[in-house]
Amino acid sequence: MSSIDNIWQQYLATGGEPTATAFGIWLIRNTPAMPAPPEQTGCTAAGRPAYPAAYEQMDNTVRSAILLARLERFLHHLNKPVFREAGISEDEFVVLATLLYMPRAAKTQLLRQCLIEIPTGSELLKRMKRSGLILEKAHPDDKRSVMITISARGRQYLLQAFRLLGGVEDALAVLTASEKETLLQLLDRLDRHHSLRHEIRQVSELMQGGPVA
């Protein structure tokens, strides 16, 4: 079985969108389907058909990718009403939250940091500028480029989203405090690895200095 990096590169080669959700859907569609259980298979203790262990036989990397993509969808459904009430989209939230910890950033740098494709991101930034969520300032070293900063309006919308997110159901409530700490360490390790590969700043590094005043 290929490593997750090889699978990811195969996925990108098909022209897929570089997001966890789209990658997870592609994985599910391209993983051999689980065979239907024979009539004599029997049932589990919960009364469900006892399917063959096709899922258990998958490579752990593929299983993890599917579960992470599925968790991302669960979180999306939990947070979607919050962003609607806050008056911003999920992508706008990501951009604004990133700018909260970066004093300013060139367009390409900002979109790379947010893991948003340049064509899609360029249109997103145009809309955010028209809405007054971000500001453009002259680049100090390149007159042909501009630097993006968060506006007072953008900060206001972002803080409102943060307040609303504080009331969202805890998606990790089933885990103990120790399990949450272990999960955080593993996710941080993965973020560090992939951030280095993509030559962007990892989340913990970005947030280390605190939000920009």
Euclidean distance between CA atoms 60 and 185, whole angstroms: 19
User: Three-state SS for 55?
Assistant: coil
Question: Against a cut of 0.85, is the pTM above it?
Answer: no
Residue pLDDT, tens place only, 95-109 = 999 999 987 899 999
H or E element in which residue 149 lies: strand 146-150
Residue pLDDT, tens place only, 8-58 = 677 777 877 777 667 767 766 665 544 444 444 455 555 555 544 566 667
- Domain parsing of the chain, residue ranges: 1-32+55-86, 88-213
Q: How confident is the model at residue 4 (pLDDT cuts 50, 70, 90)?
A: low
Give me the phi and psi of 189, to 5 degrees please.
-65, -45
Query: What residues contact residue 138 under an 8 Å CB cut-off, 6+ apart?
Result: 146, 147
- Mean pLDDT computed over 192-207: 93
Residue pLDDT, tens place only, 164-193 = 999 999 999 999 999 999 999 999 999 999
Domain 88-213, CATH among 2.60.120.330, 1.10.10.10, 3.30.750.24, 1.10.260.40: 1.10.10.10
Q: What residues are paired with 134 via a beta bridge?
A: 150
